[in-house]
Chain A
Amino acid sequence: MKPGSVAIVGAAETTELGVVPHLSQIQLHADAALNALADAGLRPQDIDGVATAGNTPTEVAYYLGITPTWVDGTAVGGCSFMLHVRHAAAAISAGLCKTVLVTHGESGKSRVGALPRTIPPSGLQGQFEAPYGIFGPPSQFTIPVLRFLKDRGMTQEQLAMVAVVQREWAAKNPRALYKDPITVADVLASRMIAYPFRILQCCVVTDGGGALILTSADRAKDFPQKPVYILGTGESVETPMISQMEDFGSSRAFRVAGKRAFETAGIKHSDVDHLMIYDAFAHLPLFGLEDLGFVGRGESGDFIVARNTAPGGKLPMNTNGGGLSYTHTGMYGMFALQESVRQVRGTALAQVPGVEVSVCHGVGGMFAASGTIVMSNQRP
């Protein structure tokens, strides 16, 4: 795919976000899809490609009344939607389909029509991790961080600052779940979940969804919204077991996906006006800043503390408030993509002035997978 040859022409989240017990998970997909279709001026019958994770593309296509000629059910966790965007861009470029709908819906909080969460006891994780008391992402995703901090001489206060800065962005966003300001002391005094992680360093748990519509850049100019061009993309996976991650100070999947996205987009770090780094937990932006090459090894903590990513900083990051304060249904990647689209369109609730290029970086599982998308409002 040539940079800028495919564009996002429709984007929307579910009408409601947060606690939505009156909608089932599949209806969250549909609500987001119908909003995105309206945004693009389309009907479900105009769609010929469907991609989703969690629920299957079969369920989503059937429920919406779509007859696709291309489907993608890649499900590698919260960054699946970054991979869907990448695959959709390739499929559109190859002529497999013309107009792709990517959906996310998850009843993460209310668990209405949600999918069961189980670890098979005969699988690798079931045999070699589950017997040691892992209990959901807060007990697993967090395990590398003491090693990360020690090897870099970094502190828990720096880790806490990630949550403080993101709450500042959330305060500007009426749709964010948590908007009240917090301090480093508040974060460190909040309830311990899995030392060194306190509750304010863990993502919120919500219901919601989002959807995107992609088509060729040549067609994109005929749609009502300003096109958001896909400049570059990357993806990779590492391991389904956090204990087997090659380096507890760096994600191989982040490095591979990020490097490929920058290379295919043909951009430098100084070209990036806005950044999203999937933040299920407070350490992810630190890993992301280092692994994507925005800062050197061990510099991510100081970079955050110096307010570079805060409102008014030189690299505005997680401007919706992130998974820590905005929303986190379980597979948050769709919401990171939505915020990048809004910032590039110039329609975000906490809009950064003059955004042309946004980098949107996702994680799946516990450092298990990654996807990176570079977007722009200019076609190269």
Chain B
Amino acid sequence: MSDLPLPVPTPETKHFWEGTRAGELRLQRCTACEKAYFPPRPFCPACGSRKVEVFKASGRGFLYSYVIHHRPAPGFTPPYSIAVVELEEGPRMMTNIVGVPQTPEALRLDMKVKAVFAKQNDEISLVHFTPEAA
């Protein structure tokens, strides 16, 4: 996946990418209203409080929706899934579903998935998801 458009972390997202490098999915939670949220920012998008903490998420969730892309994109060989997973803690995130045929039959909505970490280089590891049963 050498052509893949890799993320460039910012001060506010650094903890997330340090987490994936260590094999952890790190979310944030508001200590005032307790809401977990993603993507990262140093305040709560639900209530505006700056009192927030980073925590290690379970990495478990379910397949919320997806498409199977049939056109080539940099770093990808079609067909490949572009998916959104809803995490056990509530937030949703975009990802690829890996370790399973990229077909409508195999990619069943609501199936349970777990995070796996795909190292791209010394700094960046991406979060992918794979069926929990696999």
Q: Which of A135, A147, A248 contacts B69 (CB 8 A)?
A: A135
Would you call B67 an interface residue if the criterion is a C-beta within 8 Å of the partner chain's C-beta atoms?
yes
Whether A131 and B92, one on each chain, are in contact in the complex, defined by CB atoms closer than 8 angstroms, is no
CB distance A130 to B5 under 8 Å? yes
* B-contacting residues, A191-238, CB 8 Å: 191-197
Once the chains bind, are B6 and A195 in contact (CB under 8 Å)?
no
Q: Produce 1/0 per residue, B82-105, CB < 8 A to A.
A: 111000000011111000000010
- Closest CB in chain A relative to B103 CB, distance in Å: 9
Contact of A195 among B13, B38, B70, B93 (CB under 8 A): B70
Q: Which of A5-13, A71-79, A116-124, A311-319 contacts B (4 or more CB under 8 A)?
A: A116-124
Say whether A193 contacts B71, CB under 8 Å. yes
Asked if A135 contacts B7 (CB within 8 A), the reply is no
Verify A128–B93 contact, CB threshold 8 A.
yes
Q: Is the CB of A150 within 8 A of B109?
A: yes
Interface string of B41-67 (1 = CB under 8 A from A): 000000000000000000000001111
A130 nearest in chain B by CB position: B5
- B126 interface residue per 8 A CB criterion: yes
Chain B residue nearest in CB terms to A141: B67
A127 within 8 Å of B by Cβ?
Answer: yes
Contacts A134-B82, A139-B73 given: A127-B9 contact, CB under 8 Å? yes
- Smallest beta-carbon distance B97→chain A, Å: 10
Tell me how far the C-beta of A270 lies from the nearest C-beta in chain B, rounded to whole angstroms: 34
Q: Is the CB of A128 within 8 A of B96?
A: no
Interface residue A344 (Cβ < 8 Å from any Cβ of B): no
Residues of A within 8 A of B82 (CB): 132-134, 139-140, 143, 194
Q: Which residues of B contact A194 (CB under 8 A)?
A: 67-71, 82
Report the nearest A residue to B68, measured CB to CB.
A195
Given A129-B94, A150-B109, A195-B68: A121 and B6 within 8 A (CB)?
yes
Interfacial chain A residues near B70, Cβ < 8 Å: 191-195
Q: In the assembled complex, which residues on chain A have CB atoms less than 8 Å from the CB atom of B6?
A: 121, 131
Cβ contacts under 8 Å, A127 to chain B: 7-10, 13, 39
Q: Answer whether A128 and B7 are a contact pair too, CB < 8 Å, given A133-B82, A150-B109, A243-B94.
A: yes
Q: How far is the CB of B29 from chain A (nearest CB, A)?
A: 17
A126 at the interface (CB under 8 A from B): yes
CB–CB B73/A243 < 8 A:
no
- 8 Å CB interface, A82-141 against B: 119, 121-122, 124, 126-135, 138-140
Q: Would you give the shortest CB distance from A89 to chain B, in whole angstroms?
A: 32
Q: Which residues of A contact B84 (CB under 8 A)?
A: 143, 242-243, 248
A144 within 8 A of B: yes
Specify which chain A residues have a CB less than 8 angstroms from the CB of B68 in the assembled complex.
192, 194-195
A350 vs B64: C-alpha distance when bound (angstroms): 40
Encode contact with B along A23-56: 1 for CB under 8 Å, 0 otherwise: 0000000000000000000000000000000000
For the complex with contacts A131-B7, A142-B67, A194-B82, 13 further pairs of A-B residues with Cβ separation under 8 Å are A121-B8, A124-B39, A127-B39, A132-B83, A132-B95, A134-B82, A145-B67, A192-B70, A192-B79, A193-B70, A195-B79, A197-B67, A243-B84
B residues neighboring A (CB under 8 Å) = 4-10, 13, 38-39, 64-71, 73-76, 79-80, 82-84, 92-96, 104, 109, 126
List the 5 shortest-distance A-B pairs measured between CB atoms, nearest first. Answer: A127-B7, A135-B73, A147-B65, A195-B68, A243-B94
Residue contacts A-B, CB under 8 angstroms, 24 given: A121-B7, A121-B8, A122-B8, A126-B7, A126-B8, A128-B38, A128-B93, A130-B5, A130-B7, A133-B80, A133-B82, A134-B82, A139-B71, A143-B83, A143-B84, A144-B65, A145-B67, A147-B64, A150-B109, A194-B69, A195-B79, A241-B94, A242-B94, A243-B92
